[in-house]
Amino acid sequence: MEPFDRYRDVIDDFEAFLAACERPLPMAVRVNTLKTTPERVTQAFDEAGIEYERADWHPLVMTVDTEKPGATWPGFHGWTTGQEEVSAIPPTVLDPQPGERVLDTCAAPGSKTTQLAAEMDDEGTLVANDNNLGRLSALRFNCERLGVTNVVVTNQDARSYSLKPFDGEEFDRVLVDAPCSCEGTIRKNPDALDNWNMGHVTSVAGIQKGILKRAVQMTRPGGTVVYSTCTFAPEENEAVLDHVIGEEDVSVVDYDLALDHEPGLTEWEDEEFDPQVAKAKRVYPHQNDTGGFFTAKLEVEA
């Protein structure tokens, strides 16, 4: 937990934060409304004797008392899919609508992609991109298992994503769930910090800036971009936002989140960020018994 010491002055109740990071993460699933309803899922869990608890903030997310939710009846039939609770935040904030053109820039293995498809009622065009060709098989498998048909899978570097195959037409909404140092996954990946170093943080932050900048450029005026990571590092969160809003015609906007959270940091070490970044939201493990996450909503200026 040594890399977390640098957050001691910015995390309220730091000892509770550390204690939460050392506890195993509760198993969570999301109900797939393309195939069923929450009521049918809870009935199936009741019949199987599997205990569950529905999330207060999201009607389709629940924690389940089983280590293998995919082996349950709902999991086997694609009624549910394993998805960490805070992982459901970015698609919820993006709020895609049926019939829209939506891009998921870093999509594999597809938990957020399939959530976006369900929110779109499987209507419109959902482009799921990932630069890792090997991970696309998992993305395709999950889309097929959950009954998603409106998805187009692409294999490009999101930093230089080409709209040429789409006749240059911009997207209504874009999700950038960026590759990161994954500090917030410590509860499900106890070895997440084994190879942690500032060099990696700095390197991945450069990639994140490139992806987010390109995402803004590909979004129509008035459209929405959501930026998220599963890390606590300000270099990968607020500093990335600060960089992109300083170079592109885009602003950070507020949104409602019915989970305990903290605002984005407006200063870190010797840096000060644009005050807009405070509208982003940081979710820490000890606040809601979840993993850690950072999510910001941006609006492209018309």
Tell whether the model's pLDDT for residue 1 goes beyond 90: no
Q: Is there a single domain that holds both residue 205 and residue 156?
A: yes
CB 136 within 8 A of CB 155: yes
Q: Is there a single domain that holds both residue 239 and residue 205?
A: yes
Distance CA 118, CA 148 (A): 8
Average pLDDT over residues 151-168: 95
Task: Answer yes or no: 143 catalytic.
Answer: no
Q: Which one from 21, 180, 182, 230 is the annotated catalytic residue?
A: 230
Q: Strand 125-129 and strand 101-104: pairing?
A: parallel
In a domain, 237, yes or no: yes
Q: Would you state the structure tokens that stand for residue 285, as one six-digit string?
A: 């493990």
Average pLDDT over residues 87-96: 98
Q: Is there a single domain that holds both residue 245 and residue 109?
A: yes
pLDDT at site 95: 98
Q: Is there a single domain that holds both residue 39 and residue 101?
A: no
Distance CA 105, CA 66 (A): 31
pLDDT at site 116: 98
Q: Is there a single domain that holds both residue 233 and residue 140?
A: yes
Q: Could you tell me what percent of the chain has a pLDDT over 70? A: 100
pLDDT tier at 93, thresholds 50, 70, 90:
very high
Q: CATH number, domain at 162?
A: 3.40.50.150
Average pLDDT over residues 73-89: 97
Average pLDDT, the chain: 97
Look up the domain containing 57 and give its range: 26-83
Q: Is there a single domain that holds both residue 32 and residue 112?
A: no
For the chain, how many structural domains are there in total?
2
Enumerate the H helices of the chain as residue ranges: 14-21, 38-48, 73-76, 89-94, 111-119, 136-145, 198-217, 238-247, 285-288
CB 92 within 8 A of CB 283: no
Q: Is there a single domain that holds both residue 39 and residue 175?
A: no
Distance CA 30, CA 54 (A): 10
Greatest distance between any 2 Cα atoms in the chain = 57
Residues 6+ apart with CB under 8 A from 151: 113, 117, 126, 127, 128, 143
Q: Could you tell me what percent of the chain has a pLDDT over 90? A: 97
pLDDT at site 9: 95
Q: Is there a single domain that holds both residue 64 and residue 193?
A: no
pLDDT at site 123: 98
Average pLDDT over residues 58-85: 96
Which of 83, 115, 130 is a domain's end point? 83
pLDDT tier at 62, thresholds 50, 70, 90:
very high
In a domain, 19, yes or no: no
